[in-house]
């Protein structure tokens, strides 16, 4: 998790940012969108989660530059 949920500015209109870092993340946005739909099917379509799926390289090149606060959780395997 990252974003406002870990800071003092989290409020009723905030979302919960979740980043999934996987060396197996598809380079195609369509494939990533299918995974996000599967996550939403599991946790419910009406929610305040913003799910980001990236490769370790994408994380290092982009996300790591602006994510100041983060909290890591256990690895969970989701059958696809």
Question: Is residue 68 packed enough to be buried (19+ CB in 10 Å), middle (13-18) or exposed (0-12)?
Answer: exposed
Is pTM beyond 0.85? Reply is no
Evaluated on CA atoms 61, 66, 68, 73, the torsion sign reads negative
Total count of domains within the chain: 1
Q: Which residue range forms the structural domain that includes residue 45?
A: 4-66
Residue 29: per-residue pLDDT: 86
Question: Is residue 42 packed enough to be buried (19+ CB in 10 Å), middle (13-18) or exposed (0-12)?
Answer: exposed
- Higher pLDDT pick, 56 / 75: 56
> pLDDT band at 76, cuts 50/70/90?
low
16 part of a folded domain: yes
73 part of a folded domain: no
pLDDT single digits (tens) 20-67: 888 888 888 899 999 888 888 888 777 788 889 999 999 999 988 888
* Residue pair 55/23 in contact by the 8 Å Cβ criterion: yes
20 part of a folded domain: yes
* Residue pair 35/68 in contact by the 8 Å Cβ criterion: no
DSSP state of 47: S
58 part of a folded domain: yes
9 part of a folded domain: yes
Residue 57: per-residue pLDDT: 94
72 part of a folded domain: no
């Amino acid at each position: 998790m990252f974003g406002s949920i870990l800071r003092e500015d989290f409020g009723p209109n905030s979302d919960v940012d979740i980043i999934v870092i996987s060396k197996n993340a598809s380079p195609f946005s369509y494939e990533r969108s299918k995974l996000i739909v599967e996550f939403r099917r599991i946790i419910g379509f009406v929610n305040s989660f913003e799910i980001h799926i990236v490769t370790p390289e994408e994380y290092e090149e982009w996300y790591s530059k602006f994510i100041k606060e983060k909290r890591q959780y256990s690895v969970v395997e989701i059958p696809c």
